[in-house]
Structure 1
Amino acid sequence: MILVTGGTGFLGSHLLRALVSSGKPVRALFRKNIPVQLQDIQDKITWVQGDILDVYSLADALEDVTHVYHCAAVVAFEPGSHERMMKINSEGTANVVNMSLEAGVKKLVHVSSVAALGRAKDGRAIDEFGEWQDSPNNSRYAISKYLGEMEVWRGIAEGLDAVIVNPSIILGTGFWEDGSGMLLKNAWKEFPYYTEGINGYVDVADVVAAMIALMDSPVTEQRFILSADNWSYRQLFTAMAKGLGKKPPHIAVKPWMAAIVWRLEKLKGFFTGKHPLVTKETARTAQLKVYYNNQRILETLPHFRFRPLEQTIDHICKVFLEAKSSEQ
């Protein structure tokens, strides 16, 4: 029996779909609601209501479970969400590790993030072997994921077979209101601004495929960067705009402009009650040029290959346009 935490989220829902299609017995933890994105396969999944912060519900969910995919996490950059994010990403992961050890789980695949690898100071590509360094460029999210990773390494030291994956920004379909879906919606709205920053991106289907392959392999006690390529934000938004038939961004945002924007967004959020599109952290990180080295996963899984980002974005845009057309 396989348990998936975070199965109601973006990555977890895609993972559940892949596991169900392979015919494997799957159990998923959910807090409140099963997302509409999974309604067509929800009867093929054993759902357990619970929370990774509740060790008793975790114990129930882990009964007779042999393998765990830990996808549950919070991604947030608003100051008011930091405490909850830290609690779930760090303490919640500690609970999953502890209860997996107690339940005799054979293997755990933990979803971390490239953010947990820190930032390279000299512009070199970041790999799995660098050591975490405190830096003002590390977001609160990065710190929370780093602390979560430390809990998994502790579990490994205590006898748990586990693998950690560190995806870059994950691109995919189905969740248009948050995560990478918001990037596409910005392109749809012809958002005119871009920054000079560079980051890594990866197709959600590739993250799922790598996770399943690592789970089914004898590989343990290692972590792997999952990132197809390093693109500038301008390159990404231009490709999205092209796929949607929209005008690409054409105004470069300098650091001083970004500082004004996040303050205006914070003020607007105060009056509207909505989360700001740009925060102090995202304004800063959007200016950074960060590169990721993906060679380790390619060497470990010889038959695995990343999809070209152009292909990923073309697919996402087509699905988004079909969804828009069906709304009319």
Structure 2
Amino acid sequence: MVLVTGGTGLVGSHLLLHLIENGENVRAIYRNRDHIQKTKSLFELYKKGGLFEKINWLEADILDVPSLEIAFIGIEYVYHAAALISFDPKDENALRKTNIEGTANMVNFSLAKEVKKFCFVSSIAALGDLAPHETYITEETDWNPEKPHSDYAISKYGAEMEVWRALQEGLDIIILNPGVILGPIPKTKIFEHGSSELYIKVKNGLSFYTLGSTGFIVIKDVVRIAFELMKSDIKNERFTLIADNVVFRDVLNTIAEALKVKKPGIHAKPMFMNFLWIADWTFSTLFFQKRTITKATAKASYSKNLYSNEKIKTALGTVFLDVHQYIKEVSKL
């Protein structure tokens, strides 16, 4: 049996669908039963509602050791996709606890229960920092602790350290570092992070764009690659998953075209983005509101990071879906 964490999130729910479509016997854990509806809605969006009933749902929490004891009964393979995603500095402790301690619990149980293979869904945020002579960030790029990193990036890097530690203790592992994951454009707000936020902001009339860039990938590619790696003889490796390095303005324009709304027309330069996060910090501090833009997200919006996907292309011969074409196609769902 296969165990999936984060089954009510974007990656986890698509993993569940892909696994079931490929004949796997799947168990998914949840903390809040109401959140299972999000996964059911996702299955229905793809007109695969009948497959949803094949999931073995179990109430458990990656931070609750007794519940994991039950969740791991009969488990041979694990896809660990559960994580807290936040760039608000106020969530530092929660990020470290969920992403690092939770991952430690998962690999410890995998070791104790002699799981055959463990797949950890990390992030390109946990990859290294370019040296002056380097152009592309790869799986081998060194992490520089002297450079600034978001609390989210640090928590994912710390989680990876737990997975590498488990490797040293005898667990076969795969680590995936996906870029910004593009999912479907739901008629209702199913998921709260990543591409869903981009779609919603553009639909609501986003005025500003930036010329920063990062790696993007389609959700179908993420889960397909995860499944292929887990089924292969490849083990104890880390893979950067991006289809292409894309300028944020271009992604926003494609979304606007797909949704038939006005494209963002104002170039938000770095100085303006820095002003925005300072203003947002001031407002959130005075009125006890949740941050909408932070120093980390402002910097990311104009940074021009380039990531290499050569390793996964060599390992599996992967051909990625075009992110712009995907956005156009899912707008019709």
Separation of aligned partners in 2, 1:44 and 1:274: 41
Match in the other structure for 2:108: 98
> Structure 2: which amino acid aligns with 1:37?
K
Work out whether residues 168 and 226 of structure 1, in 8 Å CA contact, stay in contact via their aligned partners in 2: yes
In the alignment, does 2:133 pair up with 1:120?
no
> Structure 2: which amino acid aligns with 1:139?
S
Match in the other structure for 1:129: 140
TM-score (norm 1): 0.92
Work out whether residues 137 and 285 of structure 1, in 8 Å CA contact, stay in contact via their aligned partners in 2: no
Q: 1:120 to 1:316 in 2, by over 3 A?
A: farther
Q: Which moved more, 1:274-283 or 1:284-293?
A: 274-283
In structure 2, the residue corresponding to 1:44 is in which secondary structure?
coil
Separation of aligned partners in 2, 1:202 and 1:272: 37
Residues matched between the structures, number: 318
Match of 2:331 among 308, 317, 321: 317
1:40-77 deviations in Å (ceiling 9; x for gaps): 34421111111111122112101110000000111101
> Structure 2: which amino acid aligns with 1:60?
I
In structure 1, the residue corresponding to 2:303 is in which secondary structure?
coil
In structure 1, the residue corresponding to 2:27 is in which secondary structure?
strand
In the alignment, does 2:90 pair up with 1:76?
no
Match in the other structure for 1:48: 58
Work out whether residues 119 and 138 of structure 1, in 8 Å CA contact, stay in contact via their aligned partners in 2: no
Percent of pairs with identical residues: 40
> Structure 2: which amino acid aligns with 1:152?
V
Match in the other structure for 1:256: 271
Q: 1:305 to 1:289 in 2, by over 3 A?
A: same
In structure 2, the residue corresponding to 1:84 is in which secondary structure?
helix
Separation of aligned partners in 1, 2:29 and 2:289: 28
TM-score (norm 2): 0.91
> Structure 2: which amino acid aligns with 1:215?
M
Q: Which moved more, 1:158-167 or 1:191-200?
A: 191-200
1:274 Cα shift?
A: 5.1
1:64-213 residue pairs with structure 2 within 5 A? 64-122=74-132, 124-173=135-184, 174=186, 175-213=190-228
Separation of aligned partners in 2, 1:89 and 1:317: 32
> Structure 2: which amino acid aligns with 1:198?
S
Separation of aligned partners in 1, 2:330 and 2:282: 32
Separation of aligned partners in 2, 1:275 and 1:197: 24
1:132-164 deviations in Å (ceiling 9; x for gaps): 112444211111111100111111111101110
Separation of aligned partners in 1, 2:221 and 2:264: 28
Match of 1:276 among 286, 291, 295: 291
Separation of aligned partners in 2, 1:109 and 1:214: 9
1:273 Cα shift?
A: 5.8
Structure 2: runs of 5 or more not aligned:
41-48
In the alignment, does 2:17 pair up with 1:6?
no
In the alignment, does 2:318 pair up with 1:307?
no
> Structure 2: which amino acid aligns with 1:199?
T
Separation of aligned partners in 2, 1:80 and 1:49: 28
Separation of aligned partners in 1, 2:76 and 2:228: 16
Separation of aligned partners in 1, 2:263 and 2:21: 37
Separation of aligned partners in 2, 1:236 and 1:137: 26
Q: 1:194 to 1:137 in 2, by over 3 A?
A: farther
1:263-287 deviations in Å (ceiling 9; x for gaps): 3333444577653331221112212
> Structure 2: which amino acid aligns with 1:89?
N
Match of 1:292 among 273, 298, 307: 307
Separation of aligned partners in 2, 1:121 and 1:137: 14
1:121 Cα shift?
A: 4.3
Separation of aligned partners in 2, 1:120 and 1:184: 30
Match in the other structure for 1:37: 38
Over the aligned positions, Cα root-mean-square deviation in angstroms equals: 1.7
In the alignment, does 2:69 pair up with 1:59?
yes
Separation of aligned partners in 2, 1:274 and 1:245: 32
